[in-house]
Amino acid sequence: MAPLIFLLTITLLTTPAISSVGSFVYGGCSQIKYTPGCPYESNVNSLLTSLVNSATLTVYNNFTIKSPTSQDTLYGLFQCQGDLSNVDCASCVARAVSQLGTLCPDSSGGALQLDGCFVKYDNTTFLGVEDKTEVLKKCGPLIAYDSDGLNRRDGVLDYLGTSDGSYKPFRVGGSGDVSAVAQCVQDLSASECQDCLSEVVGRLKTYCGAAASGDLYLAKCYVRFSKAGAHSYGGNDLKVKTQKGESHNPAVDDDDDDDDDEEEKTLAILVGLIAAVALLIVFLTFLKKRLWKR
């Protein structure tokens, strides 16, 4: 299987609805194409629909679509940032699946990272496989940190890259005007996740030095940090909050949860709508290919 070719691009979308979670970060497609109408295409459509449907219930899941021939067996997963609501997670994954269809038409494998979620599929298994391939590095402008400010920034990053003995694939940290977020894909074991995040933190401090902000994505984990006002992710300053009941750095100010109840009320309606939209996208893509062949 040829490696995915990544498009290392950052765009800041200004659509108010989900601009902070739906902004394009990077994408990649396999060089190998499948023939439209073949069994593999049906497997891809089935897998992507399953990812969208599952995202209404959880922030992570993986699927394997088995076939009589090994080359038609398909593996896939999605993961949302750990503090997203079910509504935002489902919306993000639905958008990612839609963009994958445009970015990687007829590709046997593809991966897409939006600001709030990650989707990947391939016919070579990657589930549970640690991968430290660097796919995106971005540093903000250099600024004049005082010694205390730089120590706070490094302290936040070190906190994210240090294990407390529990499995925490999603982590947040902050001190003063510096905030940061880290996450590894949950198909990794606790030790693999820790190894990946420690690697990112070390590289990020080396790459970005005294930068006001920095993003570093490896294939299976990422770390982002930002000094207040330095830059925005998807139109909003980097904001992080912990999941309910999760221990965290006390220097971090959790976002208010006042909107949670209202989001849950709309979830039941959006679940059906998102699933219907995903199925419609798959059907229209299939129909368009058939019309082009004529």
**What CATH number should be reported for the domain holding residue 215?**
3.30.430.20
Choosing from 127, 144, 159, the residue where a domain stops is 127
SS (H, E, C) 51-92: HHHHCCCCCEEEEEECCCCHHHCEEEEEEECCCCCHHHHHHH
Please tell me the distance from the alpha carbon of residue 141 to that of residue 13, in angstroms, as a whole number: 21
Mean pLDDT within 115-133:
96
Please tell me the distance from the alpha carbon of residue 194 to that of residue 191, in angstroms, as a whole number: 5
- Position 226 scores a pLDDT of 95
- Position 70 scores a pLDDT of 77
Please tell me the distance from the alpha carbon of residue 5 to that of residue 137, in angstroms, as a whole number: 16
By mean pLDDT, which of 46-50, 70-74, 136-140, 270-274 is the weakest? Answer: 270-274
pLDDT tens profile 30-57: 999 999 999 999 999 999 999 999 999 9
Q: Based on the fold, state whether residues 143 and 207 are members of the same structural domain.
A: yes
> Which position has the higher pLDDT, 245 or 220?
220
Q: Based on the fold, state whether residues 119 and 139 are members of the same structural domain.
A: no
Q: Based on the fold, state whether residues 120 and 175 are members of the same structural domain.
A: no
What are the DSSP calls for 260-293, one per residue? HHHHHHHHHHHHHHHHHHHHHHHHHHHHHHHHHH
Please tell me the distance from the alpha carbon of residue 167 to that of residue 145, in angstroms, as a whole number: 33
- Position 186 scores a pLDDT of 97
Is the pLDDT at 134 greater than 90? The verdict is yes
Q: Based on the fold, state whether residues 223 and 197 are members of the same structural domain.
A: yes
Q: Based on the fold, state whether residues 157 and 110 are members of the same structural domain.
A: no
Task: Write out the residue range of the structural domain in which residue 200 sits.
Answer: 134-237
Please tell me the distance from the alpha carbon of residue 86 to that of residue 80, in angstroms, as a whole number: 9
* Chain mean pLDDT for the chain: 80
Please tell me the distance from the alpha carbon of residue 116 to that of residue 140, in angstroms, as a whole number: 20
241: left (phi > 0), else alpha (psi -120 to 50), else beta? Answer: beta
Choosing from 127, 147, 162, the residue where a domain stops is 127
Is the pLDDT at 21 greater than 70? The verdict is yes
Q: Quick check: is 269 in a domain?
A: no
The amino acid sitting at 94 is: A
Q: Based on the fold, state whether residues 13 and 120 are members of the same structural domain.
A: yes
Query: What total number of domains does the chain contain?
Result: 2
- Position 261 scores a pLDDT of 42
Q: What share of the chain is helix, strand, coil (3-state, %, to 5)?
A: 35, 25, 40
Mean pLDDT within 179-183:
97
